[in-house]
Structure 1
Amino acid sequence: MIHVVAGILIDPQGRVLVTQRPHGKHLAGAWEFPGGKIEPGETAPAALRRELREELGVEIGAIEPLIGVPWQYPQKSIFLDAYQVLDYSGTPQGREGQALDWRSADDLRGLNMPPPDRPIVSALRLPPFYAITPEPGDDDAAFLERIDQTLASGASLLQLRAKHLSRDRLRALARETQARAGASGARVLLNGNLDIALELGLDGVHLPAAELLQLKERPIGRERWLAGSCHDAHELAHAAAIGVDFVVLGAVRATQSHPESAPLGWTSFAELCAAAPLPVYALGGLAREDLDAARAAGAQGIAGISGFLAVP
């Protein structure tokens, strides 16, 4: 497996730097994040500093891991380590004749990019917390007030999980949740019920593992998020194969809702995460304070059910 690194440089306007692969190279003409191969005996951070100096003429300062992407091409296997560059000096220039462009993270979706760079785009667009609603009770007004509180606390990605409602009530609750989220700039994914998510124009759908395993291809366009729940390597591989954008993986710790299930623990979670070519949220028995541990294990962040994200 060839180990490569990529750097995410962001300008003061929040735009991300991409470079175009020159003619004569594999995937010529595609846009990618700058970087290159790690040389023998080199660490990934050292390789990134060297590559960005050679390619762009910049000196980078602090960096932080964003996502690791294993990818199998027909002719080779790579592992792409992407780092967010927190500060750098110098003005990026195409020192190897490559074209440069600055794009918003959302605009990157429309570019022709190598397949391993796509999960990096998803990781850039996703927040560190994924709030999952508890099952609504009998009082929809109280449930929506809780949604308002969660959104007011800064939550920007929300899964509406309501498995026991009638379709009419679910449709009404989803419409109200989407209106509230849209007003605060947040995105809403509906757990299951793909037809309702599409009918209402929701931001996406989150599918349970059993539903994911029944699919042979991605069921919605790339303009909407497709997320899924996974518990093991088989489910993760299938999610990646059909083009899921991100997953939740767990349970990392024992939970009251599933006391009979053996928790993964951070070691097994990290091993599964490293083999998954897409962003992974850690789920199960976790709190906001576990974010650093989750990121150290390779996660995008923390997902939680019982409204524990209601405080920023």
Structure 2
Amino acid sequence: MQSTKKLIHVAVGVIQRDEQIFISKRPDQLHQGGRWEFPGGKVEQGETVVAALTRELMEEVGLQVLDATPLMQLEYAYPEKTVLLDVWLVSQTEGLGEGLEGQQVAWVHFSELSNYQFPDANQPILDKVLALYQAQ
């Protein structure tokens, strides 16, 4: 039987400055609301992942992407939808990083990321980020 759940393609930015990672809090009324996330958003039809990432980070948090490389891709099935997360390591940005849509934002030392509650789909991303820093 074919699944009728919607697949949502999302560009995600793990934004780093030295040992700090930029995170934002999802608005309470959204899916997985009240949890922290790596910012990003939906990839629109006909849009490249890099273009979506650049557009979303500028719209949501006022950061211009200057350098980004692919980190990982993962699919995660929630009961109501499936997300395809295209995760990029953003190593250079311009701007302060602020909640342009009223959301809370924070620059967090990578070792403190586990103190924040993230959507379930983000666990593999958190594991990968921690492994990257521990390998340095």
When normalised by structure 2's length, the TM-score is: 0.89
- In structure 2, the partner of 1:71 is 76
- 1:207-245 C-alpha deviation (Å, 9 max, x unpaired): xxxxxxxxxxxxxxxxxxxxxxxxxxxxxxxxxxxxxxx
- In structure 1, the partner of 2:97 is 92
| Conserved 8 A contact 1:15-1:102 | yes
Moved over 3 A (4+): none
More strand by share: 2
1:100-179, aligned counterparts within 5 Å?
Answer: 100-127=105-132
| Conserved 8 A contact 2:17-2:91 | no
Q: Percent identity?
A: 35
Out of 7, 24, 28, the position equivalent to 2:13 is 7
Structure having the higher Rg = 1
RMSD over aligned CA atoms reads: 1.7
| Conserved 8 A contact 2:17-2:92 | no
More helix by share: 1
Bigger relative CO (Cα 8 Å, ≥ 6 apart) = 2
Distance across 1 between alignment mates of 2:30 and 2:46: 25
Give the aligned residue type for 1:65: P
Matched position secondary structure for 2:50: helix
1:1-312, aligned counterparts within 5 Å?
Answer: 1-12=7-18, 14-127=19-132
Distance across 1 between alignment mates of 2:37 and 2:100: 15
Name stretches of at least 5 consecutive residues in structure 2 with no aligned partner. 1-6
Superposition deviation, residue 90 in structure 1? 1.1
Give the aligned residue type for 2:74: V
Query: What number of residue pairs does the alignment pair up?
Result: 130
Distance across 1 between alignment mates of 2:28 and 2:91: 31
- 1:74-114 C-alpha deviation (Å, 9 max, x unpaired): 00011101101121111111000000012122211121100
Matched position secondary structure for 2:16: coil
